Structure 1
Amino acid sequence: MDTESHPPARPLPARALPGRPPSGGASALRPAVTELRLSAFGPHRGRTLPLAALTLLTGPSGCGKSSALSAYEALARLASGDRLRRAFPDPGRCVPERADADAQGRRGFRIGCTADGPAGPVRLDLAVQAEPELRIVGERLTCGGRTLLATALRDPRRPSVEAAWHTAGSARMTRAPLPDDRLGTALLPLRVAGRTEGQLRVLAAAEQTVVALRSAFCCDPQPPGMRGPVPLEDGLLRRGCDNLAEVLHRTRAQCTGRHARLAAAARAGCAGDVVDLAVEELADGTVRALLARGGRRGPTPLGRLGDGELRYLALALVLLTGPGVLAMDQPAEVPAACQSLTVLADGFDRCLDPRQARELVSLAAEMAGRGQVRLAGAVADASFARGVAGVTVVDLVS
């Protein structure tokens, strides 16, 4: 996920997080978003979406599947330090269609999430004014029934909100202004000293929420961009997967076990006698990906494949490779054992036939069962996934 540069949050080791004691191995230390709240956002009003390790949102066109995932992505961007305008480039579309303006001509929207982890379930709720100007007008962070951070717009003439956070010291609350175009929760690690039990609790809740949200990779493979040779650069798979060949070049050399699993997925989802996924280095320094075939048939350049096969291979690669080869803003100051990867995939089943879709969701269920990935996807028809162990289907009604 591309973001502007921003100061890093101060790390708080998982062992120092107050709240629930870690249990169940490393996966218990990995914060994850388990609920998305769309109180007033686009077509949604008062909607709460549970997010399991593998969740597919389904429903008719216009029911708000894409809107829900865009709200998740916006929260992820804010947690990564992005300003409000970058997280919501078209804020007018986020305002509920029939929302009336108040006496001052203001309209807005409200979203939130719950992040679970060592500190217990932490709720983040955000109220955003979209008109006449984009700004955060209220933010609340709560844990265990206690409000740890609350912000409010007191003076519309100033580009700030009044913030108050729990300290449990000689002064039970600390008050200070925060910018009205950034997520206050993401700024708390730079503001809270962490000396008292109350301050540690605030830090634990804020950092758990930020880590959970920043662990998102938004993936939307675009087949036209995946067909040609690509240069060797940083080896990180981009959102549109246009540099698929470059990433295959890297994973084939560095992740032989997962590459073998990817080749098995290619055999299951691509036509013909597929033996392997290969990469050819061209004279101009670029690389192109190939499907190696059995028998006398030569390799097939991926550029000759249909859109469905290309999307299938790209999504399989994302599910198998992990955050180390994805172009996303992982919190580098947090140990890998305390991070998870959540893939956001709008149109997860786009261009796929039922066999490919079922193979892909089975692969996602396998990786989610290992605790290596979470998936929130939007599909037009979830019939291919019903009955697959580990899959949660959420039906949206327009």
Structure 2
Amino acid sequence: MFHYFDHNATTPVCKEVLEALPELAKAWGNPSSIHWGGRQPKNILRDARKAVAEAVGAGSPLEIVFTSGGSEANNTVIKGLFDYYQTAQFLTPEQRLRTHYMCSAVEHPAVIKAMEHIQALGARVDFIPVNRRGEIDLDFYQAHLSEETALVSVMFANNETGTLFPIKQMAEMAHKKGALFHTDAVQGFGKVPVNLQDLGVDFASFSGHKFYSIKGSGFLYSRKGSNFSSLINGGGQERHRRGGTENTLGIGCLGVVAKRVGLIAEKAEALAKLRDHMEARILSEIPDVTVTAGETPRLPNTSSLVVKGADGETMLMSLDIKGYAVSTGAACSSGNPEPSPVLLAMGLSREEAQNSLRISLGWETTAEEVNGFIEALKVVVARLRSLNNNEGDSCHV
């Protein structure tokens, strides 16, 4: 029996998408074709664009740019805006001075590496620190914002700890300096309601496989009037903002899931109760366990634990043998022997980071599964601690 507790890495494809796939796959024509072969695919794109725009609270379907996923959307904003400010004609003198960029120190690698890329090309980049509770340093942010700031990129929610960031407040602060604001909302949509107009951001990134759709499809919200250079040059697709024939199948699936947006608040409440029940039992039944950022507003499905005396990778493999899929951090960094950069940036020690486990629940997770997981975790932790005690100091170098 297998139980999936790693929904922040990816989500299972929902029943509605599985049912829609055969019909969507029949629309094999090119959406750019004027003849009959392109009409149905074009309608699929139009319907999906409208559905996702409504689901995330965009001002207009035309503000949606379909991409291959969150990483492409993040790179499009950061690299595309840097290139635009470097090369576009008719820029104002103020825009030409904007060579400063900011992001949090706990962003997804797609943002961190894109920022490092433009830094190597001459941009000035500041990484906003966070504290041990996962809270962003707003004093640092305020002190470093200036009339030279082009873009601020701060994630809606952290993928490892679930920490929610004050996006609306930070966007308002950026706009007072004339800077644009981007949020990587990949971990938010599908777990909590997202309203982009209320948040007041200029750009936002989303990935379908994080909210029960298929991989290889996502979208970028680009508020009307927010310009950037296209990352992928080609035809005139996506209003010249993203070249390449559209992934009709993937985009159609996005539209199917987007129409279930009304379920999100209900599911969030149920997930929060289940996650809190899980954490309460673990903390009371397994000694020397702490919840990272447990007192900070978080996604309702996410729990990051530090289990003293138990190596995270070994816990993961032991739980996998018992049929429970969990994570030690971001799935895109699996196989990296180094501890999580996110946890280290929060001020956890290397030992604490190495003894961490991330559990992320999903819409179909049951109380029975959670209780079974807790029992399995108790056995695994007791065994690892016993082994460590028996080995004594000889296991350390």
Higher-strand-fraction structure:
1
Higher-helix-fraction structure:
2
Tell me, yes or no, whether TM beats 0.5.
no
**TM-score with structure 2 length normalisation?**
0.26
